[in-house]
Amino acid sequence: MDKLFTPFQAGAIALDNRVVMAPLTRNRATNQVPNDLMVEYYRQRAKPSTGMGLIITEATPISPMAHGYLDTPGIYTPEQVAAWKKVTDAVHAEGGKIVVQLWHVGRISHSSLLPGGAAPVSSTSKAANSKTYIAGGFAPTSAPRALTVEEIAATVQDYRHAARCAIEAGFDGVEIHAANGYLIEQFLRDSCNDRSDAYGGSIENRVRFLREVAQAIVAEIGAGRTGIRLSPITPANDIGQDSNAQALFAAVAGVLAPMKLAYVHVVEGATGGPRDLSDQGITFDFAALRAAFDGVAWMVNNGYDRAMAIAAVDSGAADLVAFGKPAISNPDLTRRLRENAPLNPVDPAKLYGGSGPEGYTDYPTLG
Interacting span for ligand FMN (CB under 6 A) from 43-51, 112-120, 318-326, 336-344 = 318-326
- DSSP H helical segments within 11-168, as ranges? 36-44, 78-93, 149-168
When asked if residue 325 is in the footprint of ligand FMN (CB under 6 A), the reply is: yes
Interacting span for ligand FMN (CB under 6 A) from 12-20, 89-97, 214-222, 295-303 = 295-303
Strand (E) or helix (H) holding 364:
none
Catalytic-role residue among 182, 199, 263, 304 = 182
Find the binder of ligand FMN among 195, 206, 229, 306 (CB under 6 A): 229
Listed residue (111, 105, 104, 107) closest to 122, CA to CA: 107
Residue nearest to ligand FMN (CB): 324
159 is catalytic: no
Residues, the chain, total?
367
- SS3 assignment for 285-332: CHHHHHHHHCCCCEEEECCCCHHHHHHHHHHCCCCEEEECHHHHHCCC
Distant-in-sequence, close-in-space partners of 329: CB < 8 Å, separation ≥ 6 = 343, 344, 345, 346, 347, 363
When asked if residue 23 is in the footprint of ligand FMN (CB under 6 A), the reply is: yes
When asked if residue 165 is in the footprint of ligand FMN (CB under 6 A), the reply is: no
- Enumerate residues 346-365 that contact ligand FMN by CB under 6 A: 351
Find the binder of ligand FMN among 298, 323, 360, 363 (CB under 6 A): 323
Q: Give dist(CA 232, CA 283) in Å, integer.
A: 10
Q: Give dist(CA 222, CA 260) in Å, integer.
A: 10
What values do phi and psi take at 223, rounded to 5?
A: -65, -35
Interacting span for ligand FMN (CB under 6 A) from 32-40, 127-135, 201-209, 266-274 = 266-274
- 59 or 223: CB nearest ligand FMN: 59
Find the binder of ligand FMN among 303, 306, 310, 361 (CB under 6 A): 303
Q: Least Å distance between CB 258 and ligand FMN?
A: 24
Distant-in-sequence, close-in-space partners of 367: CB < 8 Å, separation ≥ 6 = none
Please report how the helices 203-221 and 245-256 are oriented relative to each other, as an axis angle in degrees rounded to 10.
Answer: 30
- 96 or 324: CB nearest ligand FMN: 324
Contact 150, 81 (CB under 8 A): no
- 23 or 200: CB nearest ligand FMN: 23
Q: Least Å distance between CB 184 and ligand FMN?
A: 11
Find the binder of ligand FMN among 19, 52, 58, 227 (CB under 6 A): 58
Interacting span for ligand FMN (CB under 6 A) from 36-44, 137-145, 192-200, 267-275 = 267-275
When asked if residue 186 is in the footprint of ligand FMN (CB under 6 A), the reply is: no
- 55 or 146: CB nearest ligand FMN: 55
Q: Least Å distance between CB 116 and ligand FMN?
A: 25
When asked if residue 22 is in the footprint of ligand FMN (CB under 6 A), the reply is: yes
Contact 324, 334 (CB under 8 A): no
When asked if residue 321 is in the footprint of ligand FMN (CB under 6 A), the reply is: no
When asked if residue 101 is in the footprint of ligand FMN (CB under 6 A), the reply is: yes
Contact 314, 9 (CB under 8 A): no
Interacting span for ligand FMN (CB under 6 A) from 87-95, 286-294, 297-305, 357-365 = 297-305
When asked if residue 32 is in the footprint of ligand FMN (CB under 6 A), the reply is: no
State the distance between the two ends of the chain, measured CA to CA, in whole angstroms. 23
CB burial of residue 196 (10 Å; 0-12, 13-18, 19+)? exposed
When asked if residue 271 is in the footprint of ligand FMN (CB under 6 A), the reply is: yes
DSSP states along 37-52: HHHHHHHHTT-TTTS-
Residues contributing to the site for ligand FMN (CB under 6 A): 22-25, 58-59, 101, 177, 179-180, 229, 267, 271-272, 301-304, 323-326, 351
State the catalytic residues. Answer: 182
